[in-house]
């Protein structure tokens, strides 16, 4: 059930209407059932993966640690089996073939359950926080189950921290018309980002990476790189806005997941703005436990690289994602080694030059993220060194500009105003006008194609 489909709009309308007709605990039960229905819409068998365990109450540190390890093993084993079995099996066959051993494994294609990485990370955060004493264990399976499976964040985040969302689940929610109105505007803005920006940019990206523009050359590589950069940003930031808006309709608040990432002035700044719920999770539950920056520069570089390599692998079971993570890890390490405090205090011109440079570094790395294989990514990179021209290129560049510049202008406004969405601090009439304008633009300029949100596959 995709966020940009009529069936989801109907589902959301029924759920919100029924939800506010009930009292607190019945609200939670109703919402838990609705969330399981939402997840089971893809395949009811995946509901078995939503069962989780809790660390039992005990004061024995050895028992507590054993339960922690057991819980982590169970969660990561489930994630690893479903997400990486095919990857490691294919890699083994390829490695054996490279040394002259032609082996074949039994045909066993594992279907990846939607959003398994997201709710696994959320479960792990809960387990670790309870173990470390940062959070009291939930005494109610209803509360815990709703924290994990609340449908707006279930498939592609934002990854909710237990300390932020669980208390909201455990207390009564009250109707707030202003909060609900903001939620509707967030949903409309998210649909604009997805249906108008991302889906139209996807037409160019798919043509460039799929060979419809011919062999990779400078124009093809530029079209593919820029189009995918705006596609993935519009797609995922749109999903996050819709998820946050749906949550607000039911009295919940989700963390902001994007803050104008293409205005970043460094790779570190990019990760403070892009997929914030994941970057902070990797920092708190991987980078810092590895040692962070507490044990000297060499180990700090090691920890940065390990964190980003694993972060890349989290995105997908493909070596191209590992390379993508390694590029970001290398960039973070290089910035740390060669950081220049004077440059950070430079004027506006230098600030924008840094932003343009970092944007292109991020775009080049996106080629590995988008390409289906390392060879395809390398072919696209080699295209920057060759030239060919086709009569459809001018219209393709115009089409790309037409559907990327609006998001750039929107981000310019949000960056200068500090608002979470367009006209967030305006009076009622401009906000209503903005919502109506979004609805009309979506109706007339939406790409009208069934594109699943990119992060659904992770």
- Percent of the chain surpassing pLDDT 70: 79
Higher pLDDT, 335 or 93: 335
Higher pLDDT, 450 or 369: 369
pLDDT, mean of residues 281-301 = 88
Give CA–CA dist 321/200, Å, rounded: 24
Do residues 436 and 217 lie in contact, with contact meaning Cβ atoms separated by under 8 Å? no
Per-residue tokens: 186: 């967030």
What's the chain's average pLDDT? 83
User: What confidence tier does 115 reach under pLDDT thresholds 50, 70, 90?
Assistant: low
Could you say which of 153, 275, 315, 328 is catalytic?
A: 315
Between the ranges 130-134, 154-158, 295-299, 405-409, where is the mean pLDDT highest? 405-409
- Given a cut of 90, whether residue 125 has pLDDT beyond it is no
Whether 153 sits among the annotated catalytic residues: the reply is no
Q: What backbone phi and psi angles, to 5 degrees, belong to 136?
A: -70, 145
pLDDT, mean of residues 204-232 = 94
pTM metric for this prediction: 0.84
- The b/e string for 367-403 (b: 16+ C-beta within 10 A; e otherwise) is bbbbbeeeebbbbbbebbeeeeeeeebeebbebbeeb
Higher pLDDT, 315 or 260: 260
Residue (of 282, 25, 49) closest to 142 by Cα position: 25
- Given a cut of 80, whether residue 233 has pLDDT beyond it is yes
Give CA–CA dist 21/457, Å, rounded: 35
pLDDT, mean of residues 150-169 = 86
pLDDT, mean of residues 150-165 = 85
């Amino acid at each position: 059930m995709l966020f940009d489909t009529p069936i989801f709009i109907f589902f959301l309308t029924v759920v919100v209407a029924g939800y506010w007709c009930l009292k607190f605990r019945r609200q939670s039960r109703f919402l838990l059932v609705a969330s399981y229905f939402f997840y089971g819409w893809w395949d009811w068998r995946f509901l078995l993966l939503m069962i989780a365990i809790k660390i039992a109450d005990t004061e024995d540190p050895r028992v507590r640690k054993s339960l922690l390890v057991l819980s982590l093993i169970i969660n990561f084993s489930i994630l690893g089996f479903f997400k990486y079995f095919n990857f490691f099996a294919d890699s083994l066959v390829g490695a054996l073939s490279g040394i002259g051993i032609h082996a074949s494994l039994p045909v066993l294609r594992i279907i990846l359950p939607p959003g398994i990485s997201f709710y696994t990370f959320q479960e792990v955060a809960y387990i670790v926080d309870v173990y470390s004493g940062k959070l009291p264990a939930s005494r109610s399976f209803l509360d815990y189950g709703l924290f994990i499976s609340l449908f707006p964040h279930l498939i592609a985040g934002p990854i909710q921290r237990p300390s932020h969302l669980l208390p909201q689940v455990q207390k009564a929610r009250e109707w707030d018309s202003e909060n609900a109105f903001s939620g509707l505007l967030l949903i409309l803005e998210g649909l604009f980002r997805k249906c108008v920006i991302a889906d139209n940019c996807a037409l160019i990206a798919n043509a460039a990476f799929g060979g419809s523009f011919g062999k990779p050359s400078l124009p093809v590589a530029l079209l593919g790189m820029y189009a995918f950069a705006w596609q993935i940003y519009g797609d995922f930031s749109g999903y996050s806005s819709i998820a946050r808006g749906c949550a607000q309709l039911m009295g919940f608040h989700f963390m902001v997941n994007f803050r104008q990432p293409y205005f970043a002035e460094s790779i570190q700044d990019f990760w403070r703005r892009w997929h914030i719920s994941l970057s902070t999770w990797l920092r708190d539950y991987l980078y810092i436990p590895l040692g962070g920056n507490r044990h000297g520069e060499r180990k700090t570089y090691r920890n940065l690289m390990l964190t980003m390599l694993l972060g890349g692998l989290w995105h997908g079971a493909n070596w191209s994602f590992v390379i993508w993570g390694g590029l970001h890890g290398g960039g973070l390490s290089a910035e740390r080694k060669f950081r220049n405090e004077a440059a950070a205090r430079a004027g506006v011109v230098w600030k924008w030059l840094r932003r343009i440079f970092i944007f292109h570094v991020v775009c080049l790395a996106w080629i590995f993220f988008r390409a289906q294989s390392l060879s395809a990514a390398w072919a696209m990179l080699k295209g920057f060194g060759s030239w060919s021209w086709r009569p459809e290129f001018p219209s393709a560049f115009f089409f790309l500009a037409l559907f990327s510049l609006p998001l750039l202008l929107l981000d310019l406004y949000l960056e200068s105003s500090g608002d979470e969405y367009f006209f967030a601090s305006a009076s009622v009439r401009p906000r209503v006008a903005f919502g109506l304008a979004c609805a009309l633009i979506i109706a007339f300029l939406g790409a009208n194609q069934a594109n699943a949100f990119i992060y659904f596959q992770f």
